């Protein structure tokens, strides 16, 4: 009985080994992205980037202001990889942006202000590999706050009464004085 069980377990082990995938190399480099654990917004939609007549690029983004971020990847069309440099020419007024390169990709990330609803806009300046060509990328953002609740502030701690040092005043007891002089 023990021998049969051992043979079954060995056979099962060989069968499972044949199905094992090699996890050392990953097709999706996002697995190793150091920012993959950042909270993502429940709503994050980005339209494809469109080249405008003046050579600039434009896209739109829809995001929820639930303290999560929305990001997209943009690549240099010449090198098919990350832009060597980038910067902000117009920052958002109701959120924050974060730009970074990772694994030959340029990431553009936007996080709206918590519970904000409305529109926002920012512009990224993408610098190509030759260093002279700069492409502005304009991002128009629509932010909604459906279902977002801002926690009420905690009850304020009781105000401690400050003890002020006051000088003790000497009080003199005023007594009425009567004159003993007799009037005629």
Q: What is the DSSP string of 74-110?
A: E--TTTSS--SEEEEEE--SSEEEEEEEETTEEEEEE
Q: What is the CA radius of gyration of the chain?
A: 35
Q: Any idea where the domains of the chain sit in the sequence? A: 31-144
Look over the chain and give the mean of its residue pLDDT values, rounded to a whole number: 80
CATH fold for domain 31-144: Immunoglobulin-like (2.60.40)
Q: How confident is the model at residue 77 (pLDDT cuts 50, 70, 90)?
A: confident
User: What's the CA angle centered on 145, arms 141 and 151, to 5 degrees?
Assistant: 135
- Alpha helices (H) along the chain: 2-19
Please give the pLDDT value at position 5: 56
Task: Quickly count helices (H) and strands (E) in the chain.
Answer: 1, 9
Higher-pLDDT residue of 128, 184? 128
Confidence (pTM): 0.65
């Amino acid at each position: 009985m023990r021998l049969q069980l051992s043979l079954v377990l060995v056979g099962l082990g060989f069968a499972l080994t044949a199905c094992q995938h090699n996890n050392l190399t990953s097709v999706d480099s996002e697995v190793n992205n150091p920012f993959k654990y950042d909270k993502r917004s429940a709503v994050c939609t980005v339209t494809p980037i469109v080249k405008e007549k003046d050579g600039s690029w434009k896209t739109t983004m829809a995001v929820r202001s639930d303290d999560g971020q929305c990001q997209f990847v943009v690549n240099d069309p010449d090198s098919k990889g990350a832009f060597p440099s980038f910067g902000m020419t117009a920052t958002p007024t109701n959120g924050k942006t974060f730009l970074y390169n990772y694994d030959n990709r340029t990431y553009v990330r936007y996080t709206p202000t918590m519970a904000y609803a409305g529109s926002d806009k920012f512009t990224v300046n993408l610098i190509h590999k030759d260093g002279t060509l700069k492409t502005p990328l304009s991002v128009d953002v629509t932010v909604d706050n459906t279902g977002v609740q801002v926690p009420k502030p905690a009850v304020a701690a009781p105000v401690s009464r400050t003890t002020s040092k006051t000088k003790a005043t000497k009080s003199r007891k005023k007594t009425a004085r009567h004159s003993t002089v007799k009037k005629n």
